[in-house]
Structure 1
Amino acid sequence: MKLTVIGGTGLIGSQVVRRLTEAGHQATPAAQSTGVDLITGKGLDQALEGADTVVNLSNSPTFDEASLDFFRTSVDNLLAAGEKAGVRHQVVLSIVGVDQVPALDYYRAKTLQEDLLRQGPTPYSIVRATQFFEFIDAVLSWTADARTVRLPATRIQPIAAADVVAAVVEVATGTPLRGIRDIAGPDVFRLDELGKVTLAAQGDGREVVTDDQAGMFAAVGGDALIAGPDAHLAPTHYRDWLQQAR
């Protein structure tokens, strides 16, 4: 099978390309560094030529309101180029609960991305993942100083990037879902609790202060970021991953 991986040089994309290639598929990474521009459409026709499946792992350069224009334009260009090339399956990586957090510009933008894909001309699959383990340090840094890390008690169910890669590869090489597959880690944490676990494992002596106004995830209510009962649970536990990372 021939697949074009949009964003194929990033954290998830580079691993997806490698896994597909190891499985005997022809996987081509497409990104600005390879001469593909999703906004202008430059290089898209060449990147999608002969592709059976497109895996869209692209990301907006910002998390603000501008991300809406990024996803609107990029999806329109990608669907048009895919139809022209005869692509038979379009796959997008999204976020669990993305349509339940309208207060976040980026989540509204990802919801738009999903909606445009559903309305497009090509059979599709949406893989929704929870927050990556690899993203937790960045989340902590948003509201940290030399002595404290302020975090809300928002419940999350983080997942290892490697487990996301495995799920994306499985969906991309299968029959189009024409719907959504949720994937999540095996454990649910409060974000402030997760901060304490992370800092302790890293030997970081800063104090975690529970603050329901702190950071981007303060806007998330209830269990919006927790996977539902039909989700596919990944095998990697966060505490095990932390120990291996050390």
Structure 2
Amino acid sequence: MKIVIIGGTGLIGSKTVERLRKKGHEVVAASPNTGVNTITGEGLTEALAGADIVLDLANSPSFADRDVLEFFQTSGKNLLAAEAAASVKHHIALSVVGTERLQESGYFRGKLAQEELIRKSPIPYTIVHSTQFFEFLSGIAEPGTVGDKVHLSPAYVQPIASDDVADAMAEVALAPPVMGTVEIAGPEKVRLSDLVGRYLKATNDPRSVVVDAHARYFGAELNDESLVPGLDPRLGSIGFEEWFATAPRRK
């Protein structure tokens, strides 16, 4: 089968491309730096010619509220229109666990707008809701940093490694459309403040965590249900220690 991966050169995209190519499929890693741009439409028609399946793994380059909404609306409309013209049989999008619960956040409003476009499209689809990636722990700590303190919510999270996400995306790509949402998560449920504290300690970061129930996550206040999956999610196998032991180190 021909499978096009939008965002195919990114963290999840590149790993998913590798997995599907190993299974013998023709896989196109589509992104602006390979000449495919879902905002301008450049290269979309050519990339999708003869495609059976499209995975949308792209993310907004800016997290400003207006930019995120414009990105997901414009990209979603252009991509779905091009897929309809190419008679694509399955559209798959990677989204976030808790999207519908976190509409205080401009980022999650953008993701919900993307999901609504998919549900209204005539193309069979699967939306994958993932929990937070371990690889983004540093970025999660930054917005709450004041001096040498990191203010973080104690809400529960169930983080997942990018390798487990890529495994799940490859599996979904080769399965029939579910016409709904599936959830994926890591093996350990832990408080966000505790998890980032473990990460800072493991990286010898001098900052300390301040537990703050009102600390915002991408602009939204959290509770213990905000970022965790519901019943029967697909669970990855890689926990924090195993992930950290093999993760590339940032200077």
TM-score (norm 2): 0.93
* Number of corresponding residues: 246
Shift of 1:220: 2.3
- What is the 5 A alignment of 1:74-93? 74-93=75-94
What do the CA deviations read for 1:129-179 (whole angstroms, capped 9, x no partner)?
A: 000000001111222255222212121110000100000000011111111
Structure 1, 198-207 or 52-61: larger mean CA deviation: 198-207
- CA shift, 1:203, in A, is 2.5
Whether 1:208 aligns to 2:234 is no
> Which residue of the partner structure matches residue 186 of structure 1?
187
SS at match of 1:186: coil
SS in 1 for 2:139: helix
Per-residue deviation, 1:72: 1.2
Gapped regions of structure 2 (runs ≥ 5): none
1:210-229 map, 5 Å? 210-216=211-217, 219-229=221-231
Does the CA-based 8 Å contact 1:17-1:29 persist in structure 2?
Answer: yes
Deviation for aligned residue 1:184: 0.2
The residue identity in structure 2 corresponding to 1:112 is A
What's the counterpart of residue 20 of structure 1?
Answer: 20
Are 1:238 and 2:213 counterparts? no
Q: Distance in 2 between matches of 1:22 and 1:243?
A: 25
Query: CA–CA distance in 1 between the matches of 2:84 and 2:150?
Result: 48
Partner Cα distance (1:76, 1:3) in 2 = 19
- Following TM superposition, by how much is the alpha carbon of 1:66 offset from its aligned partner in structure 2, in angstroms? 2.2
Question: Pairwise CA RMSD of aligned residues?
Answer: 1.5
Q: Does 1:57 align with 2:35?
A: no
CA contact (8 A) 2:153 2:222 kept: no
One-letter code of the match for 1:199? L
Structure 1 distance, partners of 2:216, 2:29, is 33
Alignment of 1:30-109 (within 5 A): 30-63=30-63, 64-109=65-110
Query: In the alignment, what sits opposite 1:139?
Result: 140
Task: Indicate the residue corresponding to 2:173 in structure 1.
Answer: 172
Does the CA contact (< 8 Å) of 2:184 and 2:234 recur in 1?
yes
Whole-angstrom CA distance in 2 between matches of 1:215 and 1:59: 21
Segment of structure 1 superposing worse, 88-97 or 198-207? 198-207
Shift of 1:215: 4.1
CA–CA distance in structure 2, aligned partners of residues 242 and 99 of structure 1: 30
User: Structure 1, residues 37-76: CA drift from partner, whole Å, max 9, x if none?
Assistant: 2122121100100100001011112222321121111111
| Counterpart residue identity of residue 236, structure 1 | I
Further displaced range: 146-155 or 24-33: 146-155
Output the CA distance in 1 between the equivalents of 2:87 and 2:58.
Answer: 21
Whole-angstrom CA distance in 1 between matches of 2:109 and 2:147:
33
Q: Mean Cα displacement is larger for which, 65-74 or 199-208?
A: 199-208
Aligned residue for 2:131? 130
1:236 CA displacement:
0.7
| Matched residue SS, 1:78 | helix
Give 3-state SS (helix, strand or coil) of 1:209's partner.
strand
- Alignment identity in percent? 45
Moved runs in structure 1, 4+ residues, more than 6 A?
A: none
Structure-1-length-normalised TM-score: 0.95
